[in-house]
Amino acid sequence: MPRFTRRIAVIATGISLLAGSLAAHAQEGRIRIAEQFGIVYLLLNVAQEQKLIEKHAKAAGVDAKVEWVKLSGGAAVNDALLSGNIEIAGAGVGPLLTIWDRTKGRQNVKGVASLGNFPYYLTTNNPNVKTIADFTEKDRIAVPAVGVSVQSRYLQMASAKLWGDKEFNRLDKISVAVPHPDATAAMVKGGTEITGHFGNPPFQDQVLAGNPQARIVLKSYDVMGGPTSATVLYATEKFRSESPKTYKAFIDALSEAAQFVTANPEQAADIYIKVANAKIDRDLLLKIIKNPEVQFKTAPQNTYAMAEFMHRVGAIKNKPASARDYFFDDAHSAQGN
């Protein structure tokens, strides 16, 4: 090959490598995070307020551009993730398992971390309802997404225990998709078609505090047999592999946020009120954060029972061998279950 031709080839190769490097670098730094409603997203609220993702990304040499997206319901979150409108999805374990099953061998969506352990309550303002067996065709149970949300899955698991697996979705027909704030307002006010709400903190606590007729019908911890990570974060394999520094910065930010909330519940409460623009009694909020049943940690706990159930009733086709099948194999989640 003539010297001039060789020189052009070398230059072309250099340009190609540079372009590839720039393309790879362009993937780093951009992160759009979808959250929903409730104190269960407190770690994200702290990370947002204290700019922890930007901090850890900068330490890795990345200029992070962080966007926060508010959605309602696991179905909407999953659609946003698959359409490429977000990088990190925040929803219940049920929606995670659904999308893991759908994308296995393709986008390979898996869990990134837990947002902690929180008890979820099914409450009612109907004096005739003492157990889930007392709900009738006249009742309506509000959930974030019918049949898909983690609250819906808890209700299905409880139904399967009571009426058998063939009747697992028996209460889906009287369930309605309503965002937690709207469902809470309806439950406190009363007089609407909504007589039940499977919520999360602080909405379930506001219902119990705001309506003397309201009572707890079912607790998620009872359904699952103990403390459970109900709400989790997940992402595509593509994002994790193409943006490793941004991904790690997010994980590190989340871990720092968990440590901060545990050590500083008062400050954490103020951050939640500010970031979420929450209209809530501060003492009630602190009571929730300090509840011994609530644990702020990123390692998932006690999620596999739901995976087993969803496979058993045909809600997912693939049966995971353990939580490590539907969570990425990162250090913080290695001991998850």
Model confidence at 336, pLDDT cuts 50, 70, 90, reads low
| Mean pLDDT in residue range 229-248 | 97
| Mean pLDDT in residue range 64-86 | 93
Instruction: Note the pLDDT tens digit of each residue in 280-334.
Output: 999 999 999 999 999 999 999 999 999 999 999 999 999 999 999 999 998 565 5
pLDDT > 70: percent of the chain: 91
Instruction: Note the pLDDT tens digit of each residue in 102-119.
Output: 999 999 999 999 999 999
- One-letter amino acid identity for 232? V
Q: What is the pLDDT of residue 334?
A: 56
Name the CATH superfamily housing domain 27-118+229-333: Periplasmic binding protein-like II (3.40.190.10)
Neighbours of 76 (CB within 10 A): 20
**Which residue is associated with the tokens 């992402």?**
235
The reply to whether 27-118+229-333 and 121-224 are identical in fold is yes
121-224, CATH topology level:
D-Maltodextrin-Binding Protein; domain 2 (3.40.190)
Q: What is the pLDDT of residue 13?
A: 41
**Which residue is associated with the tokens 């965002």?**
179
Model confidence at 72, pLDDT cuts 50, 70, 90, reads confident
To the question of pTM greater than 0.75 for the whole model, the response is yes
Phi, psi of 29 (to 5 degrees): 100, -35
Q: How many CA atoms lie within 13 A of 148 on its CB side?
A: 19
Model confidence at 57, pLDDT cuts 50, 70, 90, reads very high
Instruction: Note the pLDDT tens digit of each residue in 45-55.
Output: 999 999 999 99
Q: What is the pLDDT of residue 330?
A: 84
State the chain's mean pLDDT as an integer.
91
Chain centre to alpha carbon of residue 309: 19
Least confident of 52-56, 71-75, 269-273, 305-309: 71-75
Q: What distance in Å separates the CA atoms of residue 178 and residue 182, rounded to the nearest whole number? A: 7
Higher pLDDT, 20 or 142: 142
Cβ partners under 8 Å of residue 142, min gap 6: 175, 176, 177, 178, 182, 183, 186, 187, 194, 196, 197, 198, 199
Q: What is the pLDDT of residue 229?
A: 95
Does the structure show a pLDDT above 50 at 3?
A: no
Q: Residues for the chain: how many in total?
A: 337
Can you give the residue ranges of every domain in the chain? 27-118+229-333, 121-224
